[in-house]
């Protein structure tokens, strides 16, 4: 969908995380980046990587004059940057758009590494306001295409460029509107440390997700988790929060950095962070408020039950848990409460505790023909 | 807050299929009085009519709920978008994909569920396959089915569209009539198929006119009752034998509903191109446009709402971001899917009695560890091996760069040596010819894309080398041999070729000894065809070639 990738693309470009658009030829990747540049009011330099040489990115060697060092005459060479790099450096900001990088020969891809990550072209450093975006055709669609080398792939946030037929048809009829994109406010980078802390504590809980180099050759050219991509992900998380982007935008960007599986694992972990503490609920069952959403209701109730039945089982904790469960039923979460109550009922009968609330569930259980 | 019967249905479903719990709890209930049924949208919002909740049995509610959750878990809205698909036809296709599985499990669904048999298609296909089959059927038989049975189709559509105030009862009646009569016409044409098809077809008709909501066709029974109140008479039941089929379907859904599906499948298959698709094309052209004009959903019967096709229906709220009731975003939906997949994987590990349907296990496996497309993987391996061996378009000073004139520095030019490639094909008896041909064709395609047209040898090998040719068209490869297997001999023979190949691609089923030492100065890519990976040397790059079925 056209609009679906555009918002993540805009966030990534403003956050200056290198972004790579995967998509078939002729689907408007370049024109969308140009439109984005107009919308953000920054210049765009389009460089087609597949017709360039390594020297265009590593700098063209130009001999300088002769100079004297320790009595020896030495000729030196400097690496002259090409014109597009000079223009970007003069503007101080802008988007460098590298088109067709997957069809560039491996030697050119290697030279691109330094441009993309360090923003250095020859002897010229691009100013920090320059963002790098790239586009690639999937190898099976490209003429003489290569999969992206794993080191290069791992320096990008990968976005899949799709098309929305109805949006396209609208555009054909009414012209292409300037895209409405989320804007990053000034000073958004102050949030980056907090996002990094969040990512760090996630990795502490799931250390195996820090680095997973794909075994398959065809996947190494995509998004996979590594310390570098998690760092990019943290930056994008902060950017999304600052731009008040929708959760889908965030999910697309995260999946583009670290791959789909780890991204969703992270989102799920983060969602469960802000649920109430089960111990507090056991201490004050009457304070229980049923969360608005079913999955949260289940998570909270399951956590309360798990805390109550933890050894050593105490009757007052069981009673408190029953009160929470019953409050959930009264507030409209009867089925979820009945589902979560299993271990609690078991523990209660084990210690011979008869909960007065249990009978409230009987009609529902009978109707559902469960036990 | 959910009414109690719906809570009971959700609880029952969770108790029967604990692995779906995460998806069930994630549904966001939205009360919609007067809807006449259950519906869900792509944001996981569950629309329910309190009146229906007390009219349907808990089993039927659970069945409808299960159907909705299947749409959402199988990502039907996203898949429709990817095609992009036309909503009505896609909805039928998606229903068919789900309902054949549900029938096998004995789930009871309200109304007249769409099955592959209704579309005249075999079971166990994907929604995409049904969808394109539907489109083909619609294109290839324009208006033929309509002229065959004009009274039902033409009478039904305007009536339903013209009286929106009477709700879905109006629509359900004519549609049931059209569908019920259709196979009956079939039966008249072919006597030997008459029995099963009329049983299936009139069974539905019987249900539609039956006043009891406990039969399988409860939703339509409901509609038919309203229908009668509204003045339009319900269709008359057919022969008495049909009522047996209807009763069976109601009392023991687990066995007989599967039979009913089979029966109509049999009736559809042998009746040839003209009558076969009639039920399908009638559904697509006459039945469905009439329902598309109506304002009410029909769960499982080709009108499920945006949980199936992703486009907003008149009874649905706007998207959560546009002021509708809160729902699940795309990302959250994906999280739920993964949660369910993990639950299935955990449950499947200790599922010795086979209580989890096989398709759920496959779905979970696919979700958590997507299968690598062997074509892609093989192509990537060959490309890399060829590129490495060739020194991959490197820069050389042997010929000066064309930019030399513009610069004082000495610049290298791009040179790309072309590597020699040998393909060793295992022709021992254990390899299936069809898979071998596919794999060979794939290799040929990749090599051609890499610009390697001339310098490829193909060796047919079992225990010894039989043929060695310098051509490369899969059809020209003579697959001689057929005895024991030794791929080591094949690799050695390949290395004796002059010029010596730098890349050797081996296609085998894996039942072969390998050399213990890696062959020197050559990259080896091994494609294991449909083998259980008996052996593959650690020094080679290996890809498993599996049939796509």
Which residue among B22, B373, B380 places its CB closest to the CB of A147?
Answer: B380
Total structural domains in chain A?
Answer: 2
Selected residue with higher pLDDT from B430 and A297? A297
Three-state SS for B245-260 is HHHHHHHCHHHHHHHH
Residue A103 lies in a domain: yes
Please check whether residues A152 and A201 belong to one and the same domain: yes
Please check whether residues A62 and A172 belong to one and the same domain: yes
Please check whether residues A94 and A197 belong to one and the same domain: yes
- Domain that includes residue A136, residue range: 6-267
Q: Residue A219 is encoded by which pair of tokens?
A: 């996947």
Residue A60 lies in a domain: yes
Residue of chain B whose alpha carbon sits nearest to that of A366: B8
Q: Which residues are paired to B394 by β-bridges? A: B415
Check whether A15 has a pLDDT greater than 90: yes
Please check whether residues A238 and A301 belong to one and the same domain: no
User: Can you tell me the distance from the alpha carbon of B13 to that of B109, in angstroms, rounded to the nearest whole number?
Assistant: 13
**Last residue of a domain, which of A251, A267, A283?**
A267
Q: B331 vs A107: CB contact, 8 Å cut-off?
A: no
Three-state SS for chain A is CHHHHHHHHHHHHHCCCCEEEECCCCCCHHHHHHHHHHHHCCCEEEEEHHHCCHHHHHCEEEEEEEEEECCEEEEEEEEECCHHHHHHHHHCEEEEEEECHHHCCHHHHHHHHHHHHHCEECCEECCCEEEEEEEECCCCCCCCCCCCCHHHHCCCEEEECCCCHHHHHHHHHHCCCCCCCCCCCCCHHHHHHHHHHHHHHHHHHCHHHCCCCCCCHHHHCCCCCCHHHHHHHHHHHHHHHHHCCCHHHHHHHHHHHHCHHHHHHHHHHHHCCCCCCHHHHHHCHHHCCCCCCHHHHHHHHHHHHHHHCCCCCCHHHHHHHHHHHHHHHHCCCHHHHHHHCHHHHHHHHHHCCCCHHHHHHHHHHHHHCCC
Residue A244 lies in a domain: yes
Q: A217 vs B335: CB contact, 8 Å cut-off?
A: no
Q: Residue B529 is encoded by which pair of tokens?
A: 């065809």
Query: Positive or negative, the Cα torsion across B431, B437, B440, B446?
Result: negative
Please check whether residues A232 and A350 belong to one and the same domain: no
**Mutation test of the interface with chain B: which of A335, A338, A371, choosing the one with the most B Cβ atoms within 10 A?**
A335
Q: How high is the pLDDT of residue B147? A: 41
Please check whether residues A326 and A208 belong to one and the same domain: no
User: Can you tell me the distance from the alpha carbon of A189 to that of A198, in angstroms, rounded to the nearest whole number?
Assistant: 15
Residue A98 lies in a domain: yes
Is residue A227 less than 8 Å (CB to CB) from chain B? no
Please check whether residues A42 and A149 belong to one and the same domain: yes
Which residue among B14, B384, B393 places its CB closest to the CB of A217?
Answer: B384
Selected residue with higher pLDDT from A7 and B443? A7
Please check whether residues A262 and A341 belong to one and the same domain: no
Is residue B12 less than 8 Å (CB to CB) from chain A? yes
**Last residue of a domain, which of A250, A267, A284?**
A267
Please check whether residues A303 and A241 belong to one and the same domain: no
Residue A65 lies in a domain: yes
Which residue among A55, A264, A334 places its CB closest to the CB of B334?
Answer: A264
Nearest to A360 by CA among B365, B169, B373, B7: B7
Please check whether residues A282 and A206 belong to one and the same domain: no
Check whether A267 has a pLDDT greater than 60: yes
Q: B384 vs A147: CB contact, 8 Å cut-off?
A: yes
The domain that holds A208 is classified in CATH as 3.40.50.300
**Last residue of a domain, which of A267, A282, A312?**
A267
Kindly indicate whether the ipTM for this predicted assembly is greater than 0.95, answering yes or no.
no
Which residue among B4, B376, B414 places its CB closest to the CB of A218?
Answer: B376
Tokens 């290395």, residue? B495
Residue A169 lies in a domain: yes
Dump pLDDT digits (tens) for A310-338.
878 888 899 999 999 999 999 888 889 99
Question: Which of B:326-365 have CB within 8 Å of A?
Answer: 326, 329-332, 334-336, 338-339
Is residue A191 less than 8 Å (CB to CB) from chain B? no
**Mutation test of the interface with chain B: which of A256, A295, A299, A364, choosing the one with the most B Cβ atoms within 10 A?**
A295
Dump pLDDT digits (tens) for A145-179.
566 777 888 889 999 887 767 777 777 787 766 66
Please check whether residues A141 and A169 belong to one and the same domain: yes
User: Can you tell me the distance from the alpha carbon of A248 to that of A256, in angstroms, rounded to the nearest whole number?
Assistant: 12
pLDDT-above-70 percentage for chain A: 94
The low-confidence residues of chain B, meaning pLDDT below 70, are 1, 141-296, 300, 370-372, 386-418, 429-431, 449-455, 463-484, 531-535, 547-549
Residue A51 lies in a domain: yes
Residue A1 lies in a domain: no
Neighboring chain A residues of B541 at a CB cutoff of 8 Å: 217
User: Can you tell me the distance from the alpha carbon of A64 to that of B158, in angstroms, rounded to the nearest whole number?
Assistant: 86
Is residue A336 less than 8 Å (CB to CB) from chain B? yes
Please check whether residues A103 and A64 belong to one and the same domain: yes
Q: Residue B549 is encoded by which pair of tokens?
A: 């079925």
Dump pLDDT digits (tens) for A43-102.
999 999 888 888 888 888 787 878 888 888 888 888 889 999 999 999 999 999 998 888
Nearest to B186 by CA among B265, B287, B240, B289: B265
Q: How high is the pLDDT of residue B315? A: 85
Q: How high is the pLDDT of residue A9? A: 92
């Amino acid at each position: 969908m056209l609009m679906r990738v555009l918002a993540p693309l805009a966030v990534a470009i403003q956050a200056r995380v290198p972004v790579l658009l995967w998509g078939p030829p002729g689907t408007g990747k370049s024109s969308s980046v140009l439109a984005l540049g107009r919308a953000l009011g920054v210049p765009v330099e389009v460089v087609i990587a597949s017709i360039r040489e390594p020297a265009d990115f590593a700098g063209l060697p130009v001999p300088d004059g002769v100079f004297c060092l320790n009595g020896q005459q030495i000729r030196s060479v400097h690496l002259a940057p090409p014109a597009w790099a000079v223009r970007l450096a003069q503007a101080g900001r802008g988007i460098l758009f590298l088109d067709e990088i997957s069809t560039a020969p491996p030697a050119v891809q290697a030279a691109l590494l330094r441009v993309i990550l360090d923003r250095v072209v020859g002897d010229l450093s691009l100013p920090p306001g320059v963002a790098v975006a790239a586009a690639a055709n999937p190898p099976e669609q490209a003429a003489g295409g290569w999969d992206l080398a794993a080191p290069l792939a791992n320096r990008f946030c990968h976005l899949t460029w799709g098309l929305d037929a109805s949006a396209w048809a609208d555009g054909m009829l009414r012209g292409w509107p300037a895209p409405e994109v989320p804007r990053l406010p000034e000073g958004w980078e102050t949030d980056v440390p907090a996002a990094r802390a969040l990512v760090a504590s996630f990795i502490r809980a799931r250390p195996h997700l820090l680095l997973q180099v794909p075994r398959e050759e065809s996947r190494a050219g995509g998004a996979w988790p590594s310390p570098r991509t998690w760092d990019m992900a943290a930056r994008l998380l902060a950017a999304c929060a600052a731009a008040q982007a929708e959760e889908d935008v965030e999910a697309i960007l995260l999946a583009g950095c670290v791959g789909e599986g780890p991204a969703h694992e992270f989102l799920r972990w983060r969602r469960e962070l802000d649920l109430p503490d089960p111990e507090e609920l056991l201490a004050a069952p009457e304070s229980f408020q049923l969360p608005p959403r079913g999955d949260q209701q289940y998570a909270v109730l399951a956590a309360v039950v798990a805390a109550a039945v933890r050894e050593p089982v105490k009757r007052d904790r069981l009673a408190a848990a029953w009160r929470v469960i019953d409050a959930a039923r009264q507030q409209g979460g009867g089925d979820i409460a009945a589902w979560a109550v299993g271990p609690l009922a078991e523990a209660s009968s084990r210690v011979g505790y008869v909960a007065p609330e249990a009978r409230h569930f009987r009609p529902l259980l009978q109707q559902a023909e469960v036990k | 807050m959910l009414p109690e019967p719906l809570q009971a249905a959700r609880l029952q479903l969770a108790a029967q299929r604990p692995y779906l719990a995460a998806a069930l709890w994630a549904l966001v209930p939205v009360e919609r009085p007067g809807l006449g049924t259950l519906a869900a949208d792509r944001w996981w919002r569950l629309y329910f009519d309190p009146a229906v909740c007390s009219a349907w049995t808990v089993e039927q509610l659970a069945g409808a709920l299960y159907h909705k959750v299947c749409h959402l878990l199988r990502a039907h809205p996203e898949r429709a978008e990817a095609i992009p698909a036309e909503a009505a036809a896609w909805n039928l296709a998606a229903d068919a994909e789900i309902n054949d599985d549900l029938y096998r499990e004995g789930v009871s669904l309200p109304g007249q569920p769409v099955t592959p048999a209704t579309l005249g298609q075999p079971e166990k296909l994907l929604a995409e396959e049904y969808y394109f089959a539907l489109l083909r059927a619609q294109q290839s038989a324009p208006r033929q089915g309509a002229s065959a049975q004009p009274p039902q189709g033409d009478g039904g559509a305007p009536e339903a569209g013209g009286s929106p105030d009477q709700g879905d009862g109006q629509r359900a009646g004519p549609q049931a009539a059209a569908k019920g009569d259709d196979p009956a016409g079939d039966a008249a044409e072919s006597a030997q198929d008459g029995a099963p098809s009329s049983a299936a077809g009139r069974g539905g008709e019987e249900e539609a006119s039956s006043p009891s909501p406990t039969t399988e066709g409860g939703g339509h029974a409901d509609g038919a009752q309203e229908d009668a109140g509204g003045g339009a008479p319900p269709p008359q039941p057919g022969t008495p034998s049909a009522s047996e089929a209807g009763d069976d379907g109601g009392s023991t859904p687990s066995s007989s509903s599967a039979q009913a599906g089979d029966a109509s499948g049999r009736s559809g298959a042998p009746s040839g191109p003209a009558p076969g698709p009639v039920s399908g094309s009638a559904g697509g052209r006459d039945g469905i446009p009439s329902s598309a004009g109506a304002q009410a959903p029909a769960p499982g019967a080709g009108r499920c709402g945006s949980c199936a096709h992703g486009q907003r229906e008149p009874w649905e709220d706007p998207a959560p971001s546009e002021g509708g009731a809160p729902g699940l975003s795309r990302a959250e939906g994906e999280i739920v899917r993964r949660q369910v997949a993990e639950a299935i994987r955990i449950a499947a590990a200790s599922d010795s009695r086979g209580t989890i349907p096989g398709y759920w296990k496959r779905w979970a496996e696919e979700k958590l560890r997507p299968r690598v497309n062997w074509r892609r993987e093989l192509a990537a391996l060959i490309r890399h091996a060829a590129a490495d061996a060739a020194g991959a378009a490197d820069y050389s000073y042997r010929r000066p760069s064309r930019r030399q004139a513009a610069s004082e520095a000495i610049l290298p030019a791009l040179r790309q040596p072309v590597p020699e490639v040998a393909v060793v094909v295992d022709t021992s008896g254990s390899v299936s010819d069809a898979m071998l041909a596919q794999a060979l064709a794939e290799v040929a395609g990749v090599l051609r894309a890499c610009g390697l047209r001339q310098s490829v040898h193909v060796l047919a090998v079992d225990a010894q080398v039989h043929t060695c040719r310098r051509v490369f068209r899969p059809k020209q490869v003579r697959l001689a041999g057929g005895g024991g297997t030794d791929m080591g001999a094949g690799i050695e023979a390949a290395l004796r070729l002059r010029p010596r190949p730098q890349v050797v691609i081996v296609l085998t089923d894996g039942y072969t000894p390998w050399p213990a030492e890696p062959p020197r100065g050559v990259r080896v890519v091994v494609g294991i065809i449909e083998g259980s990976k008996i052996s593959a040397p650690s020094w080679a790059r290996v890809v498993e070639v599996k049939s796509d079925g």
